[in-house]
A and B are shown apart, each in its own frame.
Chain A
Amino acid sequence: MDESRRIEQYQSLVKRMSPKRPVLRNVLWAFFAGGVISLAGQGIMWWFERQGMSAQAAASPTTVVLIGIGALVTGLGWYDRLAKRAGMGAILPITGFANAMVAPAMEFKSEGLIMGVGARLFTIAGPVLVYGMTAAFLVALLRYLITGVA
């Protein structure tokens, strides 16, 4: 048998025989874990509103509190255990962003504050920021071109 044909056959066999990810379980976990985090965020926001803030003003301190909780739970070594089960349900909320910043900071502390923590802090979160900002810019530009509102 021709070598490249044999390799092709092997790769399709690997694909076919690979154990499947438990998609249904993962999706349910993601839905409920993500839901619980969002619910907590909503609760925190209501609390700020009850202190007399407007809904718009309450959004920023809510984000700060959630980031704080995400960072704390990462530092305690629990966030990775949650994300292992909850997947995107834990990665997508702002607490996941905090995790993506704190985890490399902890990991690379041993290389020092400049080249370790400083240089590696955005290793995971960097791409999210780059493409998030690019997307925001493009959408804003489109809106300006279409509606004329900056």
Chain B
Amino acid sequence: MPVTRLGAHTYGIEGVSLTSSAAVVGPKEGEGPLGSEFDQVWNDDRHGEGTFEKAERALLVASQNLALQKAAWSWRSVDLVLGGDLLDQIVSTDFAARTHGRPLLGLFAACAVFTEALGLAALLVAGQGFRRVMVSAVSHHFTAERQFRFPIELGTQRPPTAAWTATAAGTVLVTVEDGPLVVDSVTFGRVLDWAGKDPNDMGGAMAPAAIDTISRHLSDTGRSPSAYDAIYTGDLGNFGLQMAQVLAEQQGLDLTPGLKDCGLALYDRKRQDVHNGGSGPGCAAAVFSGPLVRRLTSGRLQRILLVATGALFSPTTYQQGETIPCVAHAVSVRRFAREERAVLS
């Protein structure tokens, strides 16, 4: 059976591969420690587009086209596109769909949208209806600044817990055909609100949701954290990761060899002035679709749990003094070992 219910929140999946992926990032992300592991690095944030909103869309389309190219798929062979972004009415994802003309399910889960889409895609493909599904997510630093914070040139001082929205896009292709990686289980998260109010500290607000999803995933699958070479959260950043570790300890959850975070890995915090680290839907999407997929494919990593985290607030809700609800969705991805392939064929 391709989909098995493993617990209240987790589904085991068989026969679903990731056949190719692509990550395209902005200049700052290219200068970070992972810079050489992305498929394309833009020289400037605008990339010749008239507005940053158009640039964000172009970033998304570039990662989608590149992923297709690498798999030698045509757009016409894609059954469904799943994905999302941060902008109001998810315009990047929606507008990009005007040109590709494939059926689209636009999703919103703030920065957690990549694993929401990946998990859904894996279930849909395992359900044996869809054969080729594209999953993507994108964010752009300057469009997010405008929507959630201040005009770019306005002089402001950011607190140490503020996150830096990444200019990044990631796309993966999910299929029934053989691929170098497989999705083996998916855990969708509950929305938790632990009364975090500060939009400049999303890491602290999201940490409880991340630990909730991770602990549910582990108990549903009966795995210990050591079953993974790494557990990557999406964008908790420096402080959020610290809080997640404290929470795990409090709950008696031993996460050795320890948590890692895509947002923290994306930049050099000392050199790049990003305060808490990277964030945004494109952050987890690009770090996974570029560096992590490469490391899994090469065998440097065997299995990882990707737990993208999202703070589900809008500028209106925080101005009205509301707390920030958060969510985290987890997808377990592992290398499809050569021996397995031999047995199957």
Contacts and interface: CB of A to CB of B under 8 A. Distances in A.
A9 to B, nearest CB: 9
B153 interface: yes
A75 to B, nearest CB: 8
A106 B153 CA distance: 8
B201 interface: yes
A26 B158 CA distance: 11
A14 B151 CA distance: 29
Contacts of B320: none
Contacts of A86: 155
B111 to A, nearest CB: 19
B159 A74 contact: no
Interface string A1-31: 0000001101101100111110000100000
Contacts of B159: 21
Given A17-B243, A106-B151, A11 B195 contact: yes
Chain B interface category by residue count: 20 to 34
Interface residues of A, number: 36
A90 B156 CA distance: 9
Nearest to A74: B153
Given A11-B195, A19-B239, A110-B50, A96 B246 contact: no
A13 B155 contact: no
Contacts of A110: 50-51, 53
Given A13-B246, A14-B201, A110-B51, A84 B158 contact: yes
A103 B150 contact: yes
A80 B156 contact: yes
A112 B27 CA distance: 28
B267 to A, nearest CB: 16
A80 B146 CA distance: 14
B320 to A, nearest CB: 17
11 contacts: A10-B208, A11-B196, A18-B201, A20-B160, A84-B156, A99-B155, A103-B150, A103-B151, A103-B153, A103-B155, A107-B146
